[in-house]
A and B are shown apart, each in its own frame.
Chain A
């Protein structure tokens, strides 16, 4: 399960970022400027969605970044379930503690950015 999560995250995140790169290279200055100059935050979901639909590099790169960032966290959840299935309570506890710290990291980032 963990390996599957890592595979999917790699493929989806990599594809989004590769598309963003291609759009940057072939789209020309207009496309790049339109995306880069928005000043949109990575937390601005509507802006990301609009940029993705509009095939702008910024939106696809933002989407790809979030997929890549989220993948290890989701993989840890899968790992916790696998350890639980074999009854390894130490490993389950360690994995859940790590997940809690990652959630805290997101909270700290949100507070710092606000």
Chain B
């Protein structure tokens, strides 16, 4: 019964994680460790496998739709994978209560940040759209020069069919934040999307739709580095990973289909609420 319950929880987590580009680990780990009583370190390791599964399951659809920015993804991956390696190593030295506290704190910070930063990113996107009409033909003088010109691109909004141009900005600082995101992923078993998505929208000026799909694309490789550290180091229980992965695979397919038709404001609101609920629950258990 516990196994089937774990599977059901992971289906829900996979659906939600795929919709907002965070991989579901932020829900899987608290529920499996705090509610169902699994060891938190083993849960974190199993969650990393679930994060990879969610990413590889959902990404083909986003790639086919041409929304995920592959070029941006492989650029940021250098930093997130390096961070995942160091985070995975660090996590192996910490005790369970410390990990639980860090996870709850992350949930609170992310909830606050997401609500605040995404409100700012909407204003930024409006300003960028006003400066760059989506159907205008750009002249050579309008385009940025040098390496950043290669990140001047566009995507097609699936709900309207409209071409939306955007320009990737401040790549340097974003790489630094991505390294931190990788560390968080490796340390706490989450995908890193909780940091990647706000980074792409608020620092880099990437539209939310592109940020969530690109983040989902990146999650697999990001979690792979710390998963390798755990698996090769003997800290991964494959029997715990089975219900996590099966649940996430089913949920991520559902989420990938639903997310393209859901309002971005709805995605943001749901994420904030769920994150705060689990954070409070985890703090309560530590007291």
Contacts and interface: CB of A to CB of B under 8 A. Distances in A.
In which size bucket is the chain B interface?
A: 35 or more
Contacts of B238: 20, 42, 58, 61-62, 64-65
B118 interface: no
Contacts of A14: 53, 57, 245-246, 249
B112 interface: no
Contacts of A113: 232-234
Contacts, number: 170
B79 to A, nearest CB: 9
A17 B85 contact: no
Interface in A1-43: 2-3, 6-7, 9-10, 13-14, 17-18, 20-21, 24-25, 32, 35-36, 41-43
B229 A21 contact: no
A43 B236 CA distance: 11
B77 A94 contact: yes
Interface string B24-62: 000000000000000000000000010011011101100
Chain A CB count within 10 A is highest, among B52, B59, B231, for B231
B239 A24 contact: yes
Interface of A is mostly: helix
7 contacts: A6-B59, A14-B249, A21-B243, A58-B239, A90-B71, A98-B221, A102-B228
Interface of B: 3-4, 7, 49, 52-53, 55-57, 59-60, 63-64, 70-71, 74-75, 77-78, 81-82, 84-85, 88-89, 92, 147, 150, 220-221, 224-234, 236, 238-239, 241-243, 245-246, 249
B71 A72 contact: no
B89 A10 contact: no
A97 interface: yes
A55 interface: no
B232 A106 contact: yes
Given A94-B74, A102-B224, A105-B229, A65 B236 contact: yes
Contacts of B70: 2, 79, 91
A17 B250 CA distance: 12
